[in-house]
Amino acid sequence: MAFFEMAKTAILTTLKRPSTRRYPAVPAKVTPLSRGKVVIDPARCISCGMCMKKCPSGAICVVKDEKTWSIDRLKCVVCNCCVDVCPVHCLTMETGYSPSMTRHQGVEVIPITYVKPERPPRKEPDEKGGQDS
Ligand code: SF4
Ligand code: SF4
């Protein structure tokens, strides 16, 4: 009985269209929830290092003094943790898939261009106000 079930499944499977795509020969199906690659807006990154701390594979490195954010794409497991924890939302997950890598292409280093806005000058205490009371 099991043999007939198996034969039936095998025949039906041969007659049906494949359920998978021949990626990368055929472009992958992209949906709004697809995870392609992490991208940063360097003009908004405040170098807090949260993404580096939370990355489970150690793919991200933030060097505050040098103002650089780097990612090793071969280490990235596309878990989205860094995107979720970034306090200023300067990381996003691109939906498009990157071409598959056949060798390590090095670490991508991105200079952080964020400039901390200057604090408005402190108001001097009103001399009269201090003496009146
Ligand atoms: S998506 Fe995940 S693995 Fe990739 S850099 Fe972000 S935290 Fe690390
Ligand atoms: S990308 Fe976001 S979480 Fe990472 S250092 Fe910059 S501001 Fe912090």
For the chain, domain boundaries: 30-115
pLDDT of residue 15: 92
Separation CA 35–CA 13 (nearest Å) = 29
Summarised one tens digit per residue, pLDDT across range 80-117 is 999 999 999 999 999 987 777 778 888 999 999 999 88
pLDDT of residue 55: 98
pLDDT of residue 101: 76
Nearest-ligand number for the alpha carbon of 81: 1
Q: What is the pTM of this model?
A: 0.77
pLDDT of residue 131: 47
CA of 66 to the centre of ligand 2 (A): 14
Is pLDDT at 133 greater than 50 in this prediction? no
pLDDT of residue 128: 57
CA of 120 to the centre of ligand 2 (A): 25
pLDDT of residue 67: 96
Taking the CA of residue 116 as centre, how many other CA atoms within 13 Å lie in the half-sphere pointing to its CB? 8
Summarised one tens digit per residue, pLDDT across range 7-53 is 999 999 999 988 888 887 888 888 989 999 999 999 999 999 999 99
Q: What dotted CATH number matches 30-115? A: 3.30.70.3270
What six digits make up the tokens of 67?
């103002």
> Measured between alpha carbons, how far is residue 72 from residues 5, 35, 61 in Å?
48, 16, 9
Kindly report the protein residue whose alpha carbon is nearest to atom 4 of ligand 2: 51
pLDDT of residue 124: 79
The contacts of residue 72 (CB under 8 Å, 6+ apart) are 59, 107, 108
Nearest-ligand number for the alpha carbon of 113: 2
